[in-house]
């Protein structure tokens, strides 16, 4: 018996009534009197489907989708924290939802963008912010273009960027999009940047800077961070902070104080806006004073007449997106920061780290922890030494059978068979304990009945899917 849900296109019913078109209230001129026949399409292969069929179809699909509201979502580097419901209410206020990006009476929107840029400035220590980037990777691109423009404006040619091997994949890809070539730095045995190597590479002279995340993707805070940024600065480079891992640093330590010149944040990670199944996100970037003129357009300033747009046409990298960024996401993050305030944000950092270390201590009893030390927001296990050649993928698929979501797998690349775990601060102890219980049970299963893992999952609507077939013979629509 198949448990597949038929595609919605099967529910076609040609003759149903149409509910969503206003009654035409002007005298109709026939289309072919307005537009030449050759511009008009002959067929429109979109189905007519009764409303009840649509809603039932998508409720069924939602039942086969797992969100933070379903249970623990321990995806490392993704910061799957609770998405406050009040933010969903606020974003739907007509005074935001119905505002056109080109309308004149927009002080509310501009004030909100201006104000959150100040709040983010305090949180990160940065002097200026732009809310234009639509996602983290988009922020990275903007940040790297700023680095490019900065050196161009000084007449200095610098074409390389240092990216450690532990970096998120977006880092090297973004650097490439900004026209840089990449120097990969191999992390030392503590998962940190090797200082000698860094100094050597920087002295070559053609290096525009470094992209780092701290804590890094192993969840380790690099103690030598001030040394690192000093070395880069002394060799006339800039330091870029990948803010994907900012959550444990909230109210604890600021990227600017570590010595960074540019930082991007993921509002959809650290600042609680929903991931939406992959987006939309928002990836604002903050910079030090010297780099403010290079920020993308449009830029806002505060005047006696209110917040106004003032662009720096000489130096700005230009536009990176139409209009004003993902404003709906920005509103939610703004509400989150106001709700938590100074104390709340600090507690976020503290409890995110508490939860991660709690899991780390309990899980290392059965699983190999290559970097065994106090971690920050996340830590990384490996499938090394698991009984009966059970792999990371097997573990992840078996976790799904227990009704929870699996961690990030096979990332970071520097840990073979990585299971990267980030619980976030909003996870109750009971669900952390359940996760540990599940992981320990799976370890026992690996010893006694490895086939159970290798064929997992068993209880999901479909069994393990053939990813190779999907890529070899791509079927991307019906």
Which residues 6+ apart lie within 8 Å of 412 measured at CB?
Answer: 165, 166, 217, 218, 380, 418, 420
The reply on whether position 228 binds other proteins by CB under 8 A is: no
Nearer to other proteins, 31 or 186 (CB): 31
Cβ-count burial of 422 within 10 angstroms (0-12 exposed, 13-18 middle, 19+ buried)?
buried
Q: Which of 256, 191, 189, 259 is nearest to 221 (CA)?
A: 191
Instruction: Determine which residue in the list 195, 288, 308, 354 makes contact with other proteins, applying CB under 8 A.
Output: 354
Q: How many other CB atoms are there within 10 angstroms of residue 2's CB atom?
A: 7
The reply on whether position 83 binds other proteins by CB under 8 A is: yes
Which residues 6+ apart lie within 8 Å of 42 measured at CB?
Answer: none
Instruction: Determine which residue in the list 263, 340, 414, 421 makes contact with other proteins, applying CB under 8 A.
Output: 340
Q: How many whole angstroms separate alpha carbon 344 and alpha carbon 348? A: 6
Instruction: Determine which residue in the list 205, 387, 416, 461 makes contact with other proteins, applying CB under 8 A.
Output: 461
The reply on whether position 254 binds other proteins by CB under 8 A is: yes
Length of the chain (residues): 478
Long-range CB contacts (< 8 A, 24+ apart) of 102-110?
102/323, 107/306, 107/307, 109/324, 109/327, 110/300, 110/306, 110/307, 110/308, 110/309
The reply on whether position 232 binds other proteins by CB under 8 A is: no
List binders of other proteins among 35-74 (CB under 8 A).
Answer: 35-36, 38-41, 44-49, 51, 54-55, 58-70, 73
What number of chain residues touch other proteins (CB under 8 A)?
A: 204
Going 277 to 279 to 282 to 283, the CA torsion angle's sign is positive
The reply on whether position 220 binds other proteins by CB under 8 A is: yes
Torsions phi, psi of 95, nearest 5? -65, -10
Cβ-count burial of 400 within 10 angstroms (0-12 exposed, 13-18 middle, 19+ buried)?
middle
The reply on whether position 157 binds other proteins by CB under 8 A is: no
Going 90 to 92 to 95 to 99, the CA torsion angle's sign is positive
Stretch that binds other proteins, among 194-202, 230-238, 379-387, 393-401 (CB under 8 A): 393-401
**Nearest distance from residue 448's CB to other proteins, in Å?**
21
The reply on whether position 230 binds other proteins by CB under 8 A is: no
The reply on whether position 204 binds other proteins by CB under 8 A is: no
The reply on whether position 173 binds other proteins by CB under 8 A is: yes
The reply on whether position 291 binds other proteins by CB under 8 A is: no
Q: How many other CB atoms are there within 10 angstroms of residue 295's CB atom?
A: 25
Nearer to other proteins, 141 or 385 (CB): 141
Stretch that binds other proteins, among 228-236, 347-355, 384-392, 445-453 (CB under 8 A): 347-355
The reply on whether position 210 binds other proteins by CB under 8 A is: no
The reply on whether position 369 binds other proteins by CB under 8 A is: no
The reply on whether position 233 binds other proteins by CB under 8 A is: no
Instruction: Determine which residue in the list 117, 166, 170, 216 makes contact with other proteins, applying CB under 8 A.
Output: 170
Stretch that binds other proteins, among 286-294, 333-341, 382-390, 440-448 (CB under 8 A): 333-341
The reply on whether position 370 binds other proteins by CB under 8 A is: no
Instruction: Determine which residue in the list 72, 76, 112, 363 makes contact with other proteins, applying CB under 8 A.
Output: 112
DSSP assignment letter at 178:
T
Q: What is the helix (H) or strand (E) element at residue 286, kind and residue range?
A: strand 285-287
Nearer to other proteins, 72 or 386 (CB): 72
The reply on whether position 98 binds other proteins by CB under 8 A is: yes
**Nearest distance from residue 208's CB to other proteins, in Å?**
13
Q: How many other CB atoms are there within 10 angstroms of residue 91's CB atom?
A: 17
Instruction: Determine which residue in the list 361, 369, 438, 452 makes contact with other proteins, applying CB under 8 A.
Output: 361
Instruction: Determine which residue in the list 275, 423, 439, 446 makes contact with other proteins, applying CB under 8 A.
Output: 275
Instruction: Determine which residue in the list 426, 443, 446, 453 makes contact with other proteins, applying CB under 8 A.
Output: 426
Q: Where are the beta strands (DSSP E) in 113-194?
A: 128-130, 160-164, 181-185
Apex CA 298: angle with CA 294 and CA 300, to 5°?
90
The reply on whether position 28 binds other proteins by CB under 8 A is: yes
Instruction: Answer whether 419's CB lies under 8 Å from 382's CB.
Output: yes
List binders of other proteins among 306-325 (CB under 8 A).
Answer: 317-325
The reply on whether position 169 binds other proteins by CB under 8 A is: yes
DSSP assignment letter at 76:
T
The reply on whether position 213 binds other proteins by CB under 8 A is: no
């Amino acid at each position: 018996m198949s448990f597949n849900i038929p595609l919605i296109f099967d529910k076609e019913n040609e003759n149903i009534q149409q509910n969503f078109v206003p009654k035409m209230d002007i005298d109709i001129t026939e289309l072919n009197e307005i537009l030449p026949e050759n511009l008009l399409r002959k067929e429109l292969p979109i189905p007519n489907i009764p409303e009840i069929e649509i809603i039932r179809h998508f409720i069924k699909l939602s039942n086969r989708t797992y969100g933070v509201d379903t249970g623990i979502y321990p995806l490392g580097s993704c910061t799957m924290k609770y998405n406050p419901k009040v933010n969903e209410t606020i974003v739907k206020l007509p005074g935001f939802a119905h505002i056109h990006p080109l309308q004149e009476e927009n002080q509310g929107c501009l004030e909100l963008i201006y104000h959150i840029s100040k709040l983010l400035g305090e949180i990160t220590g940065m002097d200026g912010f732009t809310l234009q980037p639509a996602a983290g990777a988009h922020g990275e691109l903007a940040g790297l273009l700023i680095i490019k423009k900065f050196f161009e404006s000084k007449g200095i040619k610098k074409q390389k960027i240092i990216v450690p091997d532990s970096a998120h994949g977006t880092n090297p890809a973004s650097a490439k999009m900004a026209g840089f070539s990449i120097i990969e730095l191999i992390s030392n045995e503590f998962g940190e940047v090797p200082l000698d190597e860094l100094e050597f590479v920087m002295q070559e002279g053609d290096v525009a800077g470094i992209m780092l995340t701290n804590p890094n993707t192993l969840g380790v805070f690099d103690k030598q961070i001030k040394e690192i940024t000093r070395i880069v600065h002394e060799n006339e480079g800039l330091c870029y902070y990948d803010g994907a891992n900012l959550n444990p640093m909230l109210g604890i330590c600021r990227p600017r104080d570590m010595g960074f010149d540019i930082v991007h944040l993921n509002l959809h990670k650290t600042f609680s806006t929903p991931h939406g199944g992959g987006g939309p996100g928002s990836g604002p970037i903050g910079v030090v004073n010297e780099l403010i003129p290079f920020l993308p357009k449009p830029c806002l300033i505060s005047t006696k007449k209110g917040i106004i747009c003032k662009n720096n046409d000489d130096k700005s990298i230009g536009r990176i997106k139409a209009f004003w960024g993902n404003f709906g996401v920005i509103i939610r993050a703004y509400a989150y920061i106001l709700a938590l305030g100074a104390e709340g944000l600090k507690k976020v950092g503290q409890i995110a780290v508490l939860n991660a270390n709690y899991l780390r201590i309990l899980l290392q009893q059965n699983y190999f922890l290559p970097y065994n030390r106090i971690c920050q927001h996340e830590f990384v296990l490996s499938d090394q030494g698991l009984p009966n050649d059970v792999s990371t993928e097997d573990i992840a698929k078996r976790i799904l059978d227990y009704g929870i979501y699996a961690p990030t797998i096979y990332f970071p690349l520097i840990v073979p068979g990585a299971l990267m775990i980030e619980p976030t601060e909003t996870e109750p102890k009971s669900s952390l304990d359940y996760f540990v219980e599940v992981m320990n049970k799976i370890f026992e299963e690996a010893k006694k009945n490895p086939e159970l893992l290798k064929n997992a999952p068993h209880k999901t609507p479909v069994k393990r899917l053939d990813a190779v077939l999907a890529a070899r013979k791509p079927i991307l629509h019906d």
